Amino acid sequence: MECINIAQSLLKEADIKINGDNPWDITIHNEKFYQRVLSKGSMGLGESYMDGWWGCDRLDDFFYRVLSSNLKDKVGKLSVLPYIIKAMIFNLENKRRAFQVGEKHYDIGNELYQNMLDKRMAYSCGYWKNANTLDEAQEAKLDLICRKLDLKPGMRILDIGCGWASFIKYASEKYKVKALGVTISKEQAKLGREICENLPIEIRLQDYRELNEKFDRIVSIGMFEHVGYKNYRTFMEVAGRNLDNKGLFLLHTIGGNQSSVATDPWIDKYIFPNSLLPSIKQIAKAMEGLFIMEDWHNFGADYDKTLMAWHKNFNSSWDKIRSNYNERFFRMWNYYLLSCAGSFRARKNQLWQIVLSKKGVPGLYRSIR
C-alpha cells in the first residue's frame, strides 16, 4: 500500500492519475508494478509495460507530463548507477563493439523500416517548417542539408552513418555529386546498394575510424548518438582528416541539455545499445582546435512530429509485418517511439544541425533555414 501511495503522490505532480479517465492516465493490470518501478526506475517502467502490467491510451502525453515534471529524477536513481560506472570504466563504443547497435537495432528487418519510415527511408528528424506530410518533411530536411553544404556538381561527399542511403541518393540525383556512405548495419548496406544502383555511390560496411580519404563535403546524420563520449574527439579528428581544407562538415545529431556518460538503461538494453546523447559542452570540447563553428541550428521540436508519424505508420502496417515479431516487440516499439516523442515535446532532447569548416568560410557563411 505504501508503494501505491508514493506512486500516486509522484504522479499527481504530473497531473497523472492511476486508473483515471484522461488519455494520459495509466491503468494498472498488475499490483507488482509499483514496487518494480520504484526500485528499478526507467527499466522497471519500460519492462513492466512490455509485460502488459500497465497501459495508457496516450503514452506520448504520459511521458510529456512525466518528463516535464522531472519525475524521472526522483525514481530509481540508484538503478542507473551501474550503467554510469560501466560507461566510465569501459569504452562501450570501441571498434570491437561498434557493430552491436547495427545487429541489435538496424538489422531487425528492412521491411519494418520500409513500412514505418518515409518513401526515402530517412531514419532521422524531418524538417517540418513548410511540410504537411512525413515525405515532405524528410525531403525538406535532405534539401536543407544540401543547401547548407553548398553542394556543387562533381563534388565528392562522405556520409558517416549513411543508413539506407537516403541522403546520398538524394544529393546524387538532385545535386549531381559522387558519394561514399559507411554504415555498421549489414541490412542497411545491402538495401542501400540496391537503392543506389546506377548512381555514382559506394556504400561500405565499415567503422568510421578506418576512413582515410579526402572529400569535398562530409555529413553525418543521426550517427553521432552512437559514438560515445570517449570517442567524440576521435570522431572529430576522423572528420578533419578526411575533409578537404576548403570543405564543410555538417553534423546532424540529437542532443541532451546536460552532459552525461550513460544513456537511459531501458533504451540501452532494448533499443540502442551503447548509445549516448551528446551535450553542447561535449561537442564543443571535441571539436576545439579542429573546426570553426559556422552555424548551429536547433529544430528539436520537429522530432516530436516525426516520431508521431513513424508511430502512425508502424501501427497501420503492423498486420503486414507482425509475422516477423511478437506482441512484446509491438509493445516495446510503441513504447520506444512514444516515450521519445514525449521527451522531445518536453524539450528534454534537442536536434542540432551544426555546420563546421576547417579554416573558416572566406567572407561569411550564410545561415540557411
Residue of 144, 138, 198 whose CA lies nearest to 163: 138
Average pLDDT of the chain, as a whole number: 92
The lowest-confidence range among 168-172, 339-343, 350-354, 359-363 is: 359-363
pLDDT higher than 60, residue 53: yes
The lowest-confidence range among 79-88, 154-163, 270-279, 323-332 is: 79-88
User: Distance from first CA to last CA of the chain, Å, rounded?
Assistant: 54
pLDDT higher than 50, residue 75: yes
* C-alpha–C-alpha distance, residues 137 and 125, integer Å: 8
Contacts of 127 (CB under 8 A, 6+ apart): 137, 138, 140, 141, 144, 299, 302
pLDDT tens digit sequence for 156-190: 999 999 999 999 999 999 999 999 999 999 999 99
pLDDT higher than 80, residue 77: no
Per-residue model confidence (pLDDT) at position 92: 57
Per-residue model confidence (pLDDT) at position 85: 39
Q: How would residue 1 be classed by pLDDT, with cut points 50, 70 and 90?
A: low
Q: Which domains does the chain have, with CATH numbers?
A: 2-75 (no CATH), 97-302+347-357 (3.40.50.150)
pLDDT higher than 60, residue 323: yes
* C-alpha–C-alpha distance, residues 309 and 124, integer Å: 12
Q: How would residue 289 be classed by pLDDT, with cut points 50, 70 and 90?
A: very high
Residue of 284, 240, 219, 248 whose CA lies nearest to 366: 248
Instruction: Reply yes or no on whether 340 is catalytic.
Output: yes
The catalytically annotated residue of 56, 125, 146, 340 is 340
Q: How would residue 70 be classed by pLDDT, with cut points 50, 70 and 90?
A: confident
pLDDT tens digit sequence for 197-253: 999 999 999 999 999 999 999 999 999 999 999 999 999 999 999 999 999 999 999
Model pTM score: 0.93
Per-residue model confidence (pLDDT) at position 25: 96
